[in-house]
Amino acid sequence: MVRHSSMARQNGVQEKLFSVLTETRLRNPSYSMRAFARKLGISSSALSEILSGKRNVSYRMGERLLVQLGVDETEKNALLSSGESQDQKRSEKNQKAFQIGLDQVRFLAEWYHFAILALVEVAGFRPDPEWISKKLGIGRSVAQSAWERLLRLGLLRQKNPEGDFVLTHHSWETPDHVADQSLRRSHADGLELAARSLLEDSIEERDFTSMTMAVNSERLPEARKLIRKFHQKMSELMESGERNEVYRFSVHLYPLTRERVTRKKESPL
């Protein structure tokens, strides 16, 4: 049987690779693309091209990559057989949809996308990757890729011929209870950024507080609503007036006890 390349298969294999890489980096932040490429038996440049959509994934290559990942037979067949019906050229529309799909995953996973969006509203902002990289402490190529991704997603638009940019949206929310590797990666990065701030920033530039308490876990839904309201009030306070810096604000409420205590209802006498 002749097997044909398909956008669906390309998308599935690519997202599987990115998901596994993200999950591994959650457990080991120092895990590199080079190490992941070695595990897959390909070069790091080839892996980068596959993840960025610059290299097509044939049936044979997809099969080899999934085997190297240890994907079970059922999932492997589902990913590889997703587009065998017809052999057709990918349209520009399909290419764009595929790119946006991966861009959305990366937008949520990597903290600096939100930071760049906030930076756009800071006085004196310059749409220059070199300037952005210095302001956020990230690599120039990372800043360049992130800027291009934000434009592709339509989250920024050019305001005038002089090159000023504005946001197309001013707030973003992700659904509660989403078990997504991208969001996990984002939250893990947030904890790393907080730890760095604790070590590097003066007490006048930051505020860290915490409390440990015995709680009634049945009140958690109310607590979540209260935290959301607090977020909104903090946003209204800190975003008023001229903006000159980018901050990340987080409120963490999480269990310390590993075994959940459940109370049994007493039977009526």
Q: What's 52's domain CATH number?
A: 1.10.260
Is the domain of 227 the same as that of 98? yes
Q: Is residue 265 part of a domain?
A: no
Digit-coded pLDDT (tens) for 70-83: 888 888 888 877 54
Is the domain of 239 the same as that of 128? yes
Domain count, the chain: 2
DSSP state of 168: S
pTM of the prediction? Answer: 0.58
Cα separation, 31 vs 108, in Å, equals: 19
Is the domain of 183 the same as that of 197? yes
Cα separation, 51 vs 79, in Å, equals: 16
Is the domain of 143 the same as that of 235? yes
Q: What is the pLDDT of residue 86?
A: 40
Domain of 206 in residue numbering reads as 91-258
Residues 6+ apart with CB under 8 A from 109: 22, 181, 182, 183, 185, 186
Digit-coded pLDDT (tens) for 20-74: 887 787 677 678 888 999 999 999 888 888 877 678 888 888 889 999 988 888 8
- Give the three-state DSSP class for 157: strand
Q: Which residue has the tokens 């690519």?
A: 14
Digit-coded pLDDT (tens) for 119-154: 999 989 999 999 999 999 888 888 998 999 899 888
- Give the three-state DSSP class for 209: coil
Cα separation, 104 vs 182, in Å, equals: 9
